[in-house]
Amino acid sequence: MKTISEIRPGAYFDSVVLMQLQRSLAELHGVDDAGVVMATPANLELLADAELLTKEGKEAQPDDLLIVVRAEKEKDAAAAIEQVDDLLQKRRSRTSHEFRPHSLEAAAKQLPEADWVLISVPGRYAAGVAQEALDLGKHVFLYSDNVSLEDEIELKTVGLERGLLVMGPDCGTAIVNGVGLGFANRLRRGNIGLVGASGTGLQAITTQIHNSGGGVSQAIGTGGRDLKAKVGGMTAMQALDLLSRDDETDVIVLVSKPPDSTVATRLIGQAMACGKPVVVDFIGYPPPAHQIGNLHFATGLSEAGDLAVRLSNRDKGTKSKDGSGRSGYVRGLFSGGTLAYEAMLALQPFLTPLYSNVPISEHQLIDDPLNSEKHSILDLGEDIFTVGRLHPMMDNDLRLRRMRQEAADQETSMILFDVVLGEGSHADPTAELAEEINSIKKDRDDIIWGAIVVGTDEDPQGTQKQIERLSESGVEVYRSTQSAATFIAENFTNDEYFSGKPVEIEGLYKPLAAINVGLESFHDSLKEQGAESVHVEWRPPAGGNEDLMDILAKMRS
């Protein structure tokens, strides 16, 4: 076998073109294998693994086109490389002869109605192209990967300030006014809007919606890192705010790979505040319940799609919250360890920061269980509390003391506790509890009191009598942890999660016009769907020379 290569300095082609050219070369007479790549270190390594990297090829620079052919005879390899230009010309002849600008600015002048820019150039250049698009007042669909986290944060911060969406980097899927961007399926239009930090997740749910008889209003991708702590869910917050104001969207779906817990809490809080039914599928994030208020939690992509369709078929009428969010903290004082843990599971999507001596995750572990901090849920049956005393299910003394302690803290806004009845429990627990609550109210009448009562009508304490006594003392009585969590979520979430310039809804429903920079296949897809599109014949600035690029950037600024 003979392997020869050719380097074309500064010749740029997108990855789809290179893949097609490589396939065409490999099919030629006598050719055993071929490689056609931009000579990045990663691509050179792949060629080396395939035993296609020649000594000459090792000298290629990242912005050089490297063509390698291995054939039975050297003349066959050389003949194949000689056909590269013909193969490229045949491909060009199959594409449109439309005029193609060489810059984003020129494309914007050619198609001034374009509000969107699709970017799929190599990651080292993508942030610069995206910044240029934002400067032109365009929304960005950033398919490119290998964009630094710092660049992502900077781009999304600019987008927030200007009311422009930055979907990505590494955003594979979106649907705007019925037109798919990137990888998307052909779907029925409808009243379900989606926000996704998972591209294939969006595709799985939207196809399930379509196959179940529902339809999609808009689907906004965010990129896989958007719900990480450092990015803070900026695009997801924008998208959720946008869909909550959209009259054509009746149901919202949130889907993401495992999110950061603090970002998930903020996003869920905003979803609760929007008032519309919201289906949440945070993959790998334990759902607190099947439903809490207007939030519906799914444990899989198909379930999320089916649930969204069922909700979309209900009558309209869900209203947004009236802004009754309370300040201060929730303090939970539980005699039942499992109830305390269930309360933690139910409340962690809504309350932050949240601490406990029975935490779900390590960062929730309270430093000193004898002193609450921020939102706290305590299991008073743990060893630290029961040394030398009876369990709190039998003896109220510890809980009465802790109620007084929590009430003395002016940051305490709600005290939640459980009353577990039945054999072996305190003979009449609410007699002491109600008396203490009434006493505390003389000094702190602003505290909300809540009790989760566990018992039956046959328990010796008389469940109904216990409930009535609590109610007479102004205690909100719940028969399940979920009911208590719903009340807390609706009253302690902050309505002011989203901050930034709102994205204009009208732009979503204009006939889609876009500028495509990068993969030509995205441009072809837009045209096939009836959208207007201009494809930019993009080349790396300054031929990819880093020093010259820095000089040009300084000159422009």
pLDDT of 368 > 80? The answer is yes
* Span 408-446, pLDDT tens digits: 999 999 999 999 999 999 999 999 999 999 999 999 999
Q: Is the domain of 10 the same as that of 51?
A: yes
* Span 456-475, pLDDT tens digits: 999 999 999 999 999 999 99
Q: Is the domain of 346 the same as that of 450?
A: yes
Q: Is the domain of 150 the same as that of 176?
A: no
Average pLDDT over residues 156-176: 96
Calculate the dihedral angle through the C-alpha atoms of 410, 416, 420, 425, rounding to the nearest 10 degrees: 0
Higher pLDDT, 94 or 478: 478
Domain membership flag for residue 388: yes
pLDDT of 94 > 60? The answer is no
Do 270 and 498 meet the contact criterion of CB atoms below 8 Å apart?
yes
Listed residues 289, 322, 355: the one ending a domain: 322
Q: 495-531 burial, b if ≥16 CB within 10 A, otherwise e?
A: bebbebeebeeebbeeebbbbbbbbbbbbbbbeeeeb
Average pLDDT over residues 166-193: 95
Listed residues 43, 78, 94: the one ending a domain: 94
Q: How far apart are the first and last CA of the chain?
A: 53
DSSP string covering 196-229: ES-HHHHHHHHHHHHHTT--EEEEEE--TTTTST
Q: Is the domain of 271 the same as that of 347?
A: no
Q: Give the pLDDT band of residue 92 (cuts 50, 70, 90).
A: low
Listed residues 290, 322, 354: the one ending a domain: 322
* Span 393-413, pLDDT tens digits: 999 999 999 999 999 999 999
| HEC profile of 365-397 | ECCCCCCCCCEEEEECCCHHHHCCCCCCCCCCH
pLDDT of 324 > 60? The answer is no
Q: Give the pLDDT band of residue 373 (cuts 50, 70, 90).
A: very high
DSSP string covering 227-286: TSTTTTTHHHHHHHHHHHT-TT--EEEEEESSPPHHHHHHHHHHHHHH-S-EEEEETTS-
Q: Is the domain of 186 the same as that of 231?
A: yes
* Span 200-231, pLDDT tens digits: 999 999 999 999 999 999 999 999 999 999 99
Domain membership flag for residue 500: no
* Span 474-496, pLDDT tens digits: 999 999 999 999 899 888 866 56
Q: Check residue 147 and give its pLDDT.
A: 94
- CATH classification of the domain holding 141: 3.40.50.720
Do 301 and 205 meet the contact criterion of CB atoms below 8 Å apart?
yes
Cβ-based burial of 90 (10 A; exposed 0-12, middle 13-18, buried ≥19)? exposed
Q: Residue 181: what residue type?
A: L
For 14, the 3-state DSSP assignment is coil
Phi, psi of 41, deg, nearest 5: -55, -40
Higher pLDDT, 42 or 344: 344
How many CB atoms are closer than 10 A to CB 207? 18
Q: Secondary structure of the chain: what % helix, strand, coil (to 5)?
A: 40, 20, 40
Calculate the dihedral angle through the C-alpha atoms of 507, 513, 515, 519, rounding to the nearest 10 degrees: 110
Which of 49-53, 231-235, 340-344 bottoms out in mean pLDDT, i.e. has the lowest?
A: 49-53
Q: What distances in angstroms separate CA 143 from CA 170, 197, 240, one per listed residue?
A: 5, 13, 21
Which of 65-69, 83-87, 236-240, 508-512 bottoms out in mean pLDDT, i.e. has the lowest?
A: 83-87
Q: Residue 108: what residue type?
A: A
Please give the Cα distance from 310 to 208 (Å, whole number). Answer: 12
Q: Give the pLDDT band of residue 315 (cuts 50, 70, 90).
A: low
pLDDT of 322 > 60? The answer is no
Q: Is the domain of 186 the same as that of 266?
A: yes
Q: Residue 53: what residue type?
A: L
Q: Check residue 273 and give its pLDDT.
A: 86
pLDDT of 132 > 90? The answer is yes
Tally of structural domains, the chain:
4
- CATH classification of the domain holding 49: 3.30.70
Domain membership flag for residue 180: yes
Q: Check residue 319 and give its pLDDT.
A: 47
Please give the Cα distance from 254 to 267 (Å, whole number). Answer: 9
Q: Is the domain of 218 the same as that of 340?
A: no
Q: Is the domain of 360 the same as that of 466?
A: yes
Q: Is the domain of 284 the same as that of 410?
A: no
Domain membership flag for residue 497: no
Domain membership flag for residue 217: yes
Q: What distances in angstroms separate CA 279 from CA 44, 247, 272, 293, 306, one per listed residue?
A: 45, 18, 11, 11, 10
Domain membership flag for residue 498: no
Q: Check residue 548 and give its pLDDT.
A: 62
Please give the Cα distance from 78 to 72 (Å, whole number). Answer: 11
pLDDT of 17 > 90? The answer is no
Domain membership flag for residue 501: no
Please give the Cα distance from 32 to 51 (Å, whole number). Answer: 12
Share of the chain above pLDDT 90, in %: 66
Q: Give the pLDDT band of residue 95 (cuts 50, 70, 90).
A: low
Do 449 and 419 meet the contact criterion of CB atoms below 8 Å apart?
no
Domain range enclosing 206 = 171-322
pLDDT of 163 > 60? The answer is yes
Domain membership flag for residue 504: no
pLDDT of 516 > 80? The answer is yes
Q: Is the domain of 82 the same as that of 141?
A: no
Q: Give the pLDDT band of residue 9 (cuts 50, 70, 90).
A: confident
Q: Check residue 123 and give its pLDDT.
A: 87
DSSP string covering 396-458: -HHHHHHHHHHHHSTTEEEEEEEEE-STTS-SSHHHHHHHHHHHHHTT-TT-EEEEEEE--TT
Q: Output the average pLDDT for the chain.
A: 90
Do 551 and 557 meet the contact criterion of CB atoms below 8 Å apart?
no
Which of 23-32, 160-169, 206-215, 375-384 bottoms out in mean pLDDT, i.e. has the lowest?
A: 23-32
pLDDT of 87 > 50? The answer is yes
Question: Per the structure block, which two tokens stand in for 235?
Answer: 């695009």
Do 527 and 533 meet the contact criterion of CB atoms below 8 Å apart?
yes
Q: Check residue 283 and give its pLDDT.
A: 87
Average pLDDT over residues 293-299: 92
pLDDT of 320 > 60? The answer is no
Q: Is the domain of 471 the same as that of 525?
A: no
Higher pLDDT, 315 or 211: 211
Which H or E run contains 118?
A: strand 116-119
Q: Is the domain of 305 the same as that of 187?
A: yes
Which of 89-93, 186-190, 510-514 bottoms out in mean pLDDT, i.e. has the lowest?
A: 89-93
Q: Give the pLDDT band of residue 555 (cuts 50, 70, 90).
A: low
Average pLDDT over residues 360-376: 94
